[in-house]
Homo-oligomer: A and B are copies of this chain.
Amino acid sequence: MALTLPSSNAYGYPLLIKQLLIRSRLVSATQEIVSGTDMRLSYAELNERIGRLANTLKVSGIGEGMRVGVMDWDTHRYLECFFAVPMMGAVLHTINVRLSPTQVLYTINHGEPDLIIVHQDFMPLIDEIKSGFDRDITIVPIGNGEGYEDWTGDAPSNFDFPDFDENRTATLFYTTGTTGNPKGVSYSHRQLVLHTLGLIAGFGACPGNGGFHRGDVYMPLTPLFHVHGWGFPYAATMLGLRQVYPGRYTPDTILRLIAAEGVSFSHCVPTILSMVLDHPDCRQTDLSQWKVIIGGAALPRSLQDRAATVGISLHAAYGMSETCPFLTVADLSSDDPEVQAQTGFPGPLVHLRVVTPDMQDVPHDGETTGEVVARAPWLTQGYLGNAQASDALWSGGYLHTGDVGYIRENGSLQITDRLKDVIKTGGEWISSLALEGFASSCIGIEEVAAIGLPHAKWGERPVLVAQLSKDADPDLVRDVVMEEIQSRVGLGELSKWAVPDEIFFVEQLPKTSVGKLDKKVVRQDISSRSDIKA
C-alpha cells in the first residue's frame, strides 16, 4: 500500500508567523499587554490591531514581497509590526537606530525598504540622511505614537492573512559587526516559528519557577531591532503571557514597570542590567522575583554579585545575530553562580561542535579550545548580497560563530573568546576574556580590554587597556592588577606568556552600537598612540 496518499482536503500546515497567534485568540483573549506607562491592550485587541495595521499598510501600497522598515522604541506598535508585516507576506526590516547615521543610511539603501514607520525621536536622523536615499521611500512619521493611531485607527480589523511558502523571508536586519559595513541577515517564517518552539522548549521545560513559563510576566530589555528581541516577543505571544513593553529604556521606567506590573522575566546585555542596578530607585524596588537572561557578552562576576544582593536570578545564554539567536543557555535550575554564568547547554535540535581549523572535533575535556560551529533549524543561510562572507560563514557546512570555546564533560559549552580577539603569542593562544576577567576583579578598574599588539618576535603580545574607577590612582591600580595576574599564573590559571606587557589607561573605552566593547577601535586607538612602540 503506497504510503503517501494525503486527502486533497488535508491541510499541510506551512509554518507561518500567523500561526503563533492562533492560541492567543482562543486562550489569552483577555490577557493584558502593557506598553510604557500609559497603554494597555488585550490579546483580542492585539489581534484586531494587527489586522488594522495590515489593512493600513495595504492601502499605503505594501504588498507581498515588499519591505517595511521600523524605527521605534520597544512598544506595542513594534510588536504589531512583528506580526502584521510578515503575516501579509511582506518583509519586516528592523532598523538599528543605534548605528551611526552613515551606517543607518547604508542599511536603508542596502535593505531597500518601501516604507518606514518612524517615531518622532528618530525623525531628526531621517532628516539628516534622507537626501542620501537612493530610491523613493514612504516615510510614515508617527509622532510620539499618536500618529500611528491616526494612521491605523480607521482601518478594518479583519485581514485575511494568506498562506504561502514557509520559506518566504519574514524579517531582515543588519549585524553590528566591528569590521566593515553592517551585513544583512534575514529569516524565514519557518525559521522564526521553529526558533519560537525551540526557545520555549529550551527555556521552558525547567523544574521549579525558573526558566520561561506560563506564569511569567515578560518584559524585553534587548531592543526589538536586535535579532527580534532575541525572539522572546514571539515566544511570549504564543504562550499568551502577560507582556510589558518598556518603550525607551530608562532605568526609572524599567524599575517602575517591574514593580507595578510584576515583571518576572527579562533578557539583556550586561550594560543594561548594570544601568538598572546603578539607579537609586533600585534599592526601593523588590527585584527578588525577577529572572534575567544575560547575553551578548560574557556575564561578569561582579555584575552577578551585585544582582545577587538584590535577589535577581541571572543566567547566561548564548547566540548571535546570525543564529536567530538561540544556541545555548546555562542550566536554568542552578543557583550556583559558576554554573549560571556558563555559556551553557545547546537548545533543542541545536547541533553544536567545537572544532579545529580542519573541522575535527576537539575532546570534550573542559579545556581544549577550538572554534564553535553549529547547525540548527533557525540559522541564517547567508548575508544579503555578500556571497563571499556567506560562504565563509558556512564553511564546511556548519555556521562558524567566530567564537572560541571548549566543551565540558557534561556537555556544557564555555566561550573563552572571540576568534579575532584571541591573543596569539609565540604559538600560545591567550584568552582576552580570561585576562579581562582577572583584571576587572581588581579594585580601581571600571572596565578593561585585553588586546594583542603586533610584536616582531612573538607575533603578538598582550596589553590591557583600562578605564579607572572614579578617583583611582593609576600606579596603584597597575600594581594591583599585575599582582593579581601573576598570582593567577602562580595558580596555573594563566600561562606565563599571558602576563601583559603594559596597562594603558584611557578616559572611556569605545563601544559598539549595542554596547559591546569595540576592540577593533581599542586596537586602532592604542596602535596610533605615539608612546607605543610596535
Contact = CB atoms under 8 A, between A and B. Distances in A.
A177 interface: no
A382 B204 contact: no
A344 to B, nearest CB: 10
This chain: how many copies in the complex? 2
A211 B391 CA distance: 43
A22 interface: yes
Contacts of A193: 349
Max chain B C-beta neighbours (<10 A), residue from A10, A200, A396, A412: A10
A3 B321 CA distance: 16
A452 to B, nearest CB: 29
Interface stretch (A75-83, A212-220, A458-466): A212-220
A492 interface: no
Contact of A111 (B1, B350, B393): B1
Interface in A427-474: none
A201 B197 contact: yes
Contacts of A214: 205-207, 333
B382 A10 contact: yes
A145 to B, nearest CB: 30
Given A9-B397, A207-B215, A333-B215, A23 B385 contact: no
Nearest to A23: B346
B375 A11 contact: yes
Contact of A19 (B6, B204, B349): B349
A261 interface: no
A340 interface: no
A410 B26 CA distance: 7
B350 A4 contact: no
A411 interface: yes
B169 A1 contact: no
A28 B9 CA distance: 42
B381 A12 contact: yes
Interface in A223-251: 238-239
Contacts of A7: 381-382, 387, 390-391, 393-394
Interface string A299-335: 0000000000000000000000000000000000100
A3 B169 contact: yes
A9 B380 CA distance: 12
A26 B407 contact: yes
A348 interface: yes
A375 B14 CA distance: 11
Contacts of A169: 3-4
A239 B206 CA distance: 10
A8 interface: yes
A376 B5 contact: no
B3 A411 contact: no
A36 interface: no
Contacts of A123: none
A27 interface: yes
A377 interface: yes
A208 interface: yes
Nearest to A374: B11
A351 interface: yes
A418 interface: no
B351 A19 contact: yes
Given A6-B381, A382-B6, A212 B205 contact: yes
A43 B200 CA distance: 24
Contacts of A505: none
Interface of A: 1-13, 15, 19-20, 22-23, 26-29, 91, 110-112, 167, 169, 172, 184, 186, 193-194, 197-198, 200-201, 204-209, 211-216, 238-239, 333, 345-346, 348-352, 364, 375-377, 379, 381-382, 384-385, 387, 390-391, 393-399, 407, 410-412
Q: Which 3 A-B pairs have the closest CB atoms?
A: A204-B205, A6-B381, A207-B215
